[in-house]
Amino acid sequence: MDYLISLDHSLFSLLNGSLTNAFLDWFMPFITDAKNWAPILAIAWIALIFSGRPKMRVLALALLVSVGFTDVICARVFKKAVGRFRPCELAQKTDLKCRLLLPMKTSKSFPSNHAANTAAFATAVIAMYGISAGWPFVIIAFLIGYSRVYVGVHFPIDVAAGWLFGSLIALTVCRIIKKKWATPDAAEVERPAPPVPQ
């Protein structure tokens, strides 16, 4: 465990300290702020509800439940159970170096809810519609997870755990929804084959 934590701190120092530049110092705080991308996802979710297609509404349900459960479980169960300090909070007590590009957070560090929620969203899309529909959200989840380390509010393990937890929760939710509520679009219902002329 000590080796894993040491490796985590070293990787944090690399991503938060060494591999930085002026562009990323602007871009990472921008993309990590939920106010800049959550409205777009909310509009897309509302569009699913009003699409008139049953499969789109089932996807909307899967997204809502997956992200909702992920957010609650990570914030209220895992964070409280583990109680890990955030990097710049730990830096005040140790020799760890931390570049903090956002205001100090008061919640605990493990896991990253941003990483977990975006991973849950991406996984739900993939589980319900396939990788071709979900890969843009995988990229978004990766960038947001990376940004949490870059701006100094999470360690890499916090982000990796968030991705894992969010993906597993979404897969579980989508499996249940597929069994109970999945409804094919009318256009996708298999039509009987026409009779063969005698």
Question: What pLDDT does residue 197 have?
Answer: 56
> Could you give the percent of the chain with pLDDT greater than 70?
91
Question: For the stretch 85-105, what's the b/e string if a residue is b when 16 or more beta carbons lie within 10 angstroms of its beta carbon?
Answer: bbbbbbbeeeebebebbeeee
Q: Tell me which of 85 and 105 has the higher pLDDT.
A: 85
Question: What pLDDT does residue 74 have?
Answer: 93
| The two three-digit tokens of residue 177, written as one number | 């929804």
Segment 125-143 shows an average pLDDT of 89
Are the C-beta atoms of 139 and 81 separated by less than 8 Å? Answer: no
Whether 190 shows a pLDDT value over 60: the answer reads no
| The two three-digit tokens of residue 112, written as one number | 């990253």
Question: What pLDDT does residue 27 have?
Answer: 95
Q: What is the mean pLDDT of the chain?
A: 87
In 3D space, the residue among 135, 142, 102 whose CA is nearest the CA of residue 118 turns out to be 142
Q: Give the lowest-confidence range in 46-50, 86-90, 139-143.
A: 46-50
Domain boundaries, the chain: 2-184
Question: What pLDDT does residue 194 have?
Answer: 56
In 3D space, the residue among 163, 164, 113 whose CA is nearest the CA of residue 142 turns out to be 163
- HEC profile of 49-101: HCCCCHHHHHHHHHHHHHHHHHHHHHHHHHHHHHCCCCHHHHHCCCCCCCCCC
Question: What pLDDT does residue 186 have?
Answer: 41
Question: What pLDDT does residue 50 have?
Answer: 85
In 3D space, the residue among 114, 128, 131 whose CA is nearest the CA of residue 41 turns out to be 114
Name residues whose C-beta falls within 8 Å of residue 137's C-beta, 6 or more positions apart in sequence.
118, 121, 122, 125, 126
Question: What pLDDT does residue 14 have?
Answer: 94
Alpha-carbon gap, residue 179 to 155, rounded angstroms: 37
Segment 81-86 shows an average pLDDT of 92
Q: Give the lowest-confidence range in 25-29, 44-48, 84-88, 158-162.
A: 44-48
Segment 23-41 shows an average pLDDT of 89
Segment 96-116 shows an average pLDDT of 90
Whether 193 shows a pLDDT value over 70: the answer reads no
Superfamily of domain 2-184: Phosphatidic acid phosphatase type 2/haloperoxidase (1.20.144.10)
Alpha-carbon gap, residue 32 to 28, rounded angstroms: 6
Whether 125 shows a pLDDT value over 50: the answer reads yes
Whether 116 shows a pLDDT value over 50: the answer reads yes
